[in-house]
Structure 1
């Protein structure tokens, strides 16, 4: 795979995971190529890989669309995330370097500032800081096995991410990040593991509540048009 294809793949993957491309939204080669200022060849190759990854699906005669996850899929992946990331958080409390702790604190502080000031595009920026936070924490655990397993799970399947959060949800998530940094800084394995468990379970609940609300709205809309 060429470097350009890798770049397109990474961009599209992040857009899907971050909710910029919503479930069942059509993804058009020509539109993506124009937006990213590349030819359609690397876009086609990247979309083929995303299809193999299960993040896109094709319909004959219609094109490619963002894959939707059912409730069982979401719960299953989150249960895996909880086991893996909670273990990683505990290990990070034992193994993180001062530099890694400072980086985690920096990402957490930036997210707090973005929530407070709400500049243009702040949700996308929070999503990126959150991604960096979780990957840095995984690095701090210094476990190649956990990192290999978690590589895809960290982002899946929050395909809407912070875009669905209320102000209360957002503040709760920010509090969890601050508490995780504190637990890791003081070297408490159990504390860090428990905070991560609560953080991910809260994220799952928020996602499922939003999902149910959106499904009910879709049902009501269909009924109103009959």
Structure 2
């Protein structure tokens, strides 16, 4: 097992490769639509191909890389229309998921949603990359838990094709302090609505959250 640089957490090689490549994509080390290969990643990270291959699979699922013909990969660049589509579909599907979660979530899931919302607030305003990482991970877990609590495998499968985790993370990093505080407050309200079992409130709170996220993505990445 390899040791990560931050916090001394022990991580596997595939996780380290995933984090390193993702960080390079987010930092602009690789340009949008730049062509890369697993061999280039392995060489630059001084790692074997096996963990890099596993990392690449995750990054493809997250929408950060796409497979080209042969051994090639390409760093994904999202156009304005694609960003609009992603958030429009999230608005419809995740609002419905929140409504269902209000009715079907277990007591444990409701408590976990509240805890994740508190975790996000604990890192607001973010001061460093570790704070952004913590917020992004809590956000991912929060939205995934709502999908799980919705008890709809069909809905979960549909959203897995829509959500672009790279876009979500980049949107967070584009927020000013007021926007990121507002986002954390949205998550707290969504959790409270689901805890109360109020489907109308949960759906409306999720819509408000995603409308704000759409505006931020449009403003920063849609031009």
- Which TM-score applies when normalising by structure 1? 0.75
Match of 1:11 in 2: 18
Conserved 8 A contact 2:86-2:162: yes
Matched, 1:167 2:174: no
CA contact (8 A) 1:9 1:43 kept: no
Higher helix share: 1
Q: How does 1:56-75 map to 2 (within 5 A)?
A: 56=65, 64-75=73-84
Q: Which of 134, 155, 164 pairs up with 1:155?
A: 164
**2-side partners of 1:138 and 1:52: how far apart?**
17
Q: Report what 2:188 is aligned to.
A: 178
Gaps of 5+ in 2: 1-11
SS at match of 1:160: helix
1:26-105 equivalences in 2 (<5 Å) = 29=38, 32-33=41-42, 38-44=47-53, 47=56, 55-56=64-65, 64-105=73-114
1:187 is aligned to 2:197: yes
Cα distance change, pair 148–12 in 1 and its aligned pair in 2 (3 A): farther
- Asked if 1:211 is matched to 2:221, the reply is yes
Offset of 1:162 from its aligned partner? 1.3
Partner of residue 24 from structure 1, selected from 32, 35, 39: 32
Instruction: Give the direction of change, closer, same or farther, for the CA distance of 1:159–1:66 in structure 2 (3 Å limit).
Output: farther
Aligned residues: 206
Q: Say if 2:141 is the partner of 1:132.
A: yes
Alpha carbon RMSD of aligned pairs, Å? 3.6
Q: Which residue of 2 aligns with 1:220?
A: none
TM-score by length of 2: 0.76
Q: 1:188 to 1:35 in 2, by over 3 A?
A: farther
Cα distance change, pair 20–155 in 1 and its aligned pair in 2 (3 A): farther
Structure 1: how far apart are the matches of 2:214 and 2:93? 15
Of the structure 1 ranges 78-87 and 20-29, higher mean CA displacement relative to structure 2 is found in 20-29
Per mean C-alpha deviation after superposition, the further-off stretch among 35-44 and 148-157 is 35-44
